[in-house]
Structure 1
Amino acid sequence: MAFRLGSALCGAATSMDMLIIGRAIAGAGGTGIYFGVMALITSMTSLNERPMYFALTGWSWGAGTVLGPIIGGGFAASSATWRWAFYINLVIGAVVMPAYIFLIQDPEIPHRRPYLTLFWSIDWLGWALQSGALTTFLMGITLGGVSYPWDHGRVITLFALAFMFSCSFCIVQWLSLCTSPNNRIFPVAYLRSARQVILFLLTACASAGVFIPIYYLPLFFQLTRGDSAIMAGVRLLPLVILLVASCLLSGYTLSKFPRIPASIYYLTGAALVLIGGTLLTTVNNPSGTTRIYIYSILIGFGTGLYQQLSFSVSQRLAGAAPDTQAQSVGFIMLAQEMGALVALGISYMVLLNRSLRGLGAALPRLGLEDIKAIISGDGLAGLSRGDRELAIAVITDVIGSIYNLIIAAGGVGL
């Protein structure tokens, strides 16, 4: 319901603030759907069956990644307008609602507590502190060097708040303040397991390694080839198809042959990500389209090998108790989300700051707002042919440097 409410607000938005609020609500609802699916899979399958079912969620995620820009771009280019890119979620929700009601049943839990009691048992303080830390950190690296100098009071304040929220979160989780040890939003006990900590880092790196090309390859093609949102989404097909295929492959083989060491998938996947990311940094012109497809396939296949695998591996390490199984789901979900958020936040900071410096030096007559418009692609049409080619060369060079984060993600995995 939260996802559909947020989508409705976005579709009916009359201001940017309303759109942001709607996106925040939809994001919270989408996270709840994802966690709910993982929790249901956990409760309805055995440890040996689980990797395959977890892998199937990667298939649906991959389909959404490709179809989202295509469908949304199609609505934006039609008389239906961009609003239907959000309203379509209400239609889909109405279609699948009978399945929610009649097909999905709550797992049998002995001594089930009332829903109101469960609501108040949520670690709301931990959630608020974690959200505050991530929000202020991302705002700091996004605004710093662009809207304000790095030594500006507002940027410093944001980083100070991020540090304060992070320290407070650690204290609250360690001491179980305003919650119980079993209800903490972060399973502190997992920090005592070196394997769980390594698993967290590997999962975060896999998430970072796949989200960077998914975000920046369409931008590259839109700038260099003038692609529409639809065509930019289509160009992600090689990456996403191989990601989904390898995700299903690793899930199936680990379910069928549980004695295969999971480390094989992680080492092979990280090596492919490292190779693909390294090769991707060598392409900075539109004539290398085929090479980009090949390199993105390496990244997609590599990350797919272990992106969803961590859910079942973490649960095997944690034990068979229902509480620890649920904690494992939350633990790995946090790794996936933090990997994507931090990687995209840092990469966006690099894009803005380096593009501002490069475009400011190459086209000194342009103002700050003009340069921001060029970075987004909207300001290119107003430039002369020579200036446009120069601006594109600067930004694509910056995008090439951003791919170093993929190299880092693969390197950490090894």
Structure 2
Amino acid sequence: MGSAEESPGSEVATSVESTLQDVEKHGVLSTDKTPGGDEEQWKRPVGRLVWFQVCVGIILSAMLYGLDTTIAADVQASVIQSLGQIEKISWVGIGFPMGSVATILLIGSCYGIFNVKWIYLGGIILFEVGSAVCGAAPTMDALIVGRVIAGIGGASMALTWGVGCILGPVVGGEFSVSSATWRWAFYINLVLAAITAPIYIFSFPSLDPRPELSHAEKWLKVDWVGAFLKAAFIILLMVALNFAGPTWRWGSGGTIALWVLFGVTLITFIVQQTFSIFTTSETRLFPVQFLKNRGLILTYIASAAANACVFIPIYFVPLFFQFTKDDSAIQAAVRLLPFITVVIFFIMFSGALLPVFPYYSAWYFVSGIFLLIGSPLMFTVTPTTKTAAVYGFEIIISIGAGLGGQIGYTIAASKVKPHEVPAAIGFINVSQIGTIALALAISGNIFQNLGFKRLQAALAAYDFTEVEIRSALAGTQSKIFQNGSDEVKTLAVNSVSSTISSLYGLSIAAGALILVVAVLMKREKLQMNLAVAG
């Protein structure tokens, strides 16, 4: 079998595709015999047109997820201008992947137990409900809730997201500067879903992977305790990272309580999964047995580090150009296209050549090298750095991130037994989607805290309130940039720009970690016979 690079959340995509492939291969038993033999023939239960429609539906839902993954990157300034509460702005980006990673293992488990069609449709409906909440949000809190709901729904959709990721910032930027406003960056999902709804409702086959089980028995097969604990510790971690500093002081009782609750919940989850409490070793949510496999652990770490280097530029490159070049949202989004396009190209490049050159540790080593060249260069960027140079630095990072970002799925699938392949894909899913949320939470916290301190120090001689200084971090539409003198604007731009550049310290650390992991990996060829085809 060949290999295919999977996108974040591809456990779900693989579940849907493999089930549909089963229909394609085995279908409905015919009573006809093959000419010259007694072997039974199998027929596909759906016609070619319906099969084509199903494939189109999966692809379109993939694009929707990709669109929502990046669409928030370029609407932040407009959201703040409309809803306020700058201290919560990072949640617009974090909420979506947080909802996905909190539920992805549970949903992947459900795909192996319940009717595939209804899990898929339920996810799309939840995704659209979340999008509607985002579009109509009267407050920042409502918008955050909508993003989390959309993320949960998106976790059950096929997540081949490349095209959507490219379009996301551009679509979001275009809406944010149009009369439609930023709200249509989320309402657009409802329009697209309405167009494709007949495919999902009427064309998707109804497939029950466990017809021998009653509904009650199916519900008992799900590790609900593990699902609750996993969602709880992820949410507590994200809340603690985002509230510490901008909302609550680091040493405050609320911050300490959040970190304690996170630690207790995480430890409880580890114990519950290790000893299969209220579940069994076969049905527990997390594949604990993989933690004994050195190769899987190193692959998990490398995948996480590479993906961290993707989403820091996606969310902060547009912001950099809006501050330093006075770009509109759409102009800033267009400047991001080279980065995303190159990342996707090298994801496909590494996937195509991995079977030809199967020494996977070398791929990670080269990935780390590129990241350790591009990230320090971005760390040195200032408002006076030439735009062409910034593009070049971005592209170097995108090559490294693309080379190492997705091969983990194929590597993990090749290192486990055939029946453990879905669990291995889920294992890397947690690494990838979890890293998106974690990278955005950490970078958002640094940006809010360090950016505020630098702005406050630079503008100490001027009579600006704390609220006005914090609002300046959201974009050039703030009072400081709209009404301040040229000197004030220059000081503010330099402070914000240096803060954004500092965020690439995370990419430097990630690149170094990938290099270390590559050195620790075995010098072996990847055995492709167990790799996932999709």
TM range (shorter): 0.7 to 0.9
Whose helix proportion is higher, 1 or 2?
A: 1
- Separation of aligned partners in 2, 1:368 and 1:179: 50
Per-residue CA deviations over 1:174-221 (Å, capped at 9, x if unaligned) read 122222222222110000000010011001101111111111111111
1:327 corresponds in structure 2 to 423
- Separation of aligned partners in 2, 1:229 and 1:125: 43
Mapped pair 1:299 → 2:415: no
**What SS does the aligned partner of 2:246 have?**
coil
- Separation of aligned partners in 1, 2:353 and 2:219: 38
1:273 corresponds in structure 2 to 371
1:33 corresponds in structure 2 to 157
Shift of 1:296: 0.9
Mapped pair 1:308 → 2:406: yes
Aligned residue type for 2:446: V
Q: TM-score, normalised by structure 1?
A: 0.87
Unaligned 5+ runs, structure 2? 1-124, 516-534
Per-residue CA deviations over 1:235-271 (Å, capped at 9, x if unaligned) read 111111111111111112235x3x6222222111121
Q: 1:237-276 counterparts in 2 under 5 A?
A: 237-255=337-355, 257=356, 260-276=358-374
- Separation of aligned partners in 1, 2:215 and 2:149: 21
CA shift in 2, pair 1:139/1:316, >3 Å: same
**What SS does the aligned partner of 1:181 have?**
coil
Shift of 1:312: 1.5
Contact 2:177 2:329 in 1 (8 A): no
2:387 corresponds in structure 1 to 289
Contact 1:67 1:233 in 2 (8 A): no
Shift of 1:369: 0.9
CA shift in 2, pair 1:185/1:196, >3 Å: same
Mapped pair 1:18 → 2:142: yes
1:351 corresponds in structure 2 to 447
- Separation of aligned partners in 2, 1:129 and 1:110: 26
1:144 corresponds in structure 2 to 244
Aligned residue type for 2:391: Y
Mapped pair 1:183 → 2:183: no
Structure with max Cα Rg: 2
Aligned residue type for 1:29: G
1:231 corresponds in structure 2 to 331
Shift of 1:102: 6.2
Shift of 1:411: 0.6
1:393 corresponds in structure 2 to 494
1:337 corresponds in structure 2 to 433
**What SS does the aligned partner of 2:196 have?**
helix
- Separation of aligned partners in 2, 1:369 and 1:297: 36
**What SS does the aligned partner of 1:151 have?**
coil
Mapped pair 1:374 → 2:498: no
How many pairs does the alignment contain? 386
Aligned residue type for 1:18: A
Query: 1:9 aligned to 110, 133, 137, which one?
Result: 133
Contact 2:370 2:396 in 1 (8 A): yes
Aligned residue type for 2:244: G
Aligned residue type for 1:411: A
Aligned residue type for 2:323: L
Aligned residue type for 2:458: A
- Separation of aligned partners in 2, 1:239 and 1:76: 21
- Separation of aligned partners in 2, 1:407 and 1:77: 34
CA shift in 2, pair 1:399/1:17, >3 Å: closer
CA shift in 2, pair 1:383/1:352, >3 Å: same
CA shift in 2, pair 1:104/1:411, >3 Å: farther
Q: Which moved more, 1:4-13 or 1:73-82?
A: 73-82
Query: 1:205 aligned to 300, 305, 308, which one?
Result: 305
Query: 2:505 aligned to 398, 401, 404, which one?
Result: 404
Q: 1:148-159 counterparts in 2 under 5 A?
A: 148-159=248-259
Per-residue CA deviations over 1:273-296 (Å, capped at 9, x if unaligned) read 121111111212243211111111
- Separation of aligned partners in 2, 1:313 and 1:232: 36
Mapped pair 1:173 → 2:279: no
Aligned residue type for 1:317: K
Q: Which moved more, 1:260-269 or 1:230-239?
A: 260-269
CA shift in 2, pair 1:288/1:184, >3 Å: farther
Q: 1:30-179 counterparts in 2 under 5 A?
A: 30-34=154-158, 57=160, 61-100=161-200, 105=205, 109=209, 113=213, 117-179=217-279
**What SS does the aligned partner of 2:156 have?**
helix
Q: Which moved more, 1:105-114 or 1:230-239?
A: 105-114
CA shift in 2, pair 1:320/1:102, >3 Å: farther
Shift of 1:402: 1.0
- Separation of aligned partners in 2, 1:310 and 1:147: 37
Unaligned 5+ runs, structure 1? 38-56
Shift of 1:3: 0.8
Shift of 1:13: 2.5
Aligned residue type for 1:335: S
Shift of 1:14: 2.9
Contact 2:236 2:259 in 1 (8 A): yes
Per-residue CA deviations over 1:131-190 (Å, capped at 9, x if unaligned) read 222222222232223333211111111111111111111111112222222222211000
Aligned residue type for 2:415: L
CA RMSD of aligned residues (A): 2.1
- Separation of aligned partners in 2, 1:337 and 1:63: 18
**What SS does the aligned partner of 1:66 have?**
helix
- Separation of aligned partners in 1, 2:329 and 2:220: 43
- Separation of aligned partners in 2, 1:13 and 1:165: 31
Shift of 1:4: 1.2
CA shift in 2, pair 1:140/1:100, >3 Å: same
CA shift in 2, pair 1:172/1:244, >3 Å: same
Contact 1:66 1:234 in 2 (8 A): no
What percentage of residue pairs aligned between the two structures are identical?
Answer: 36
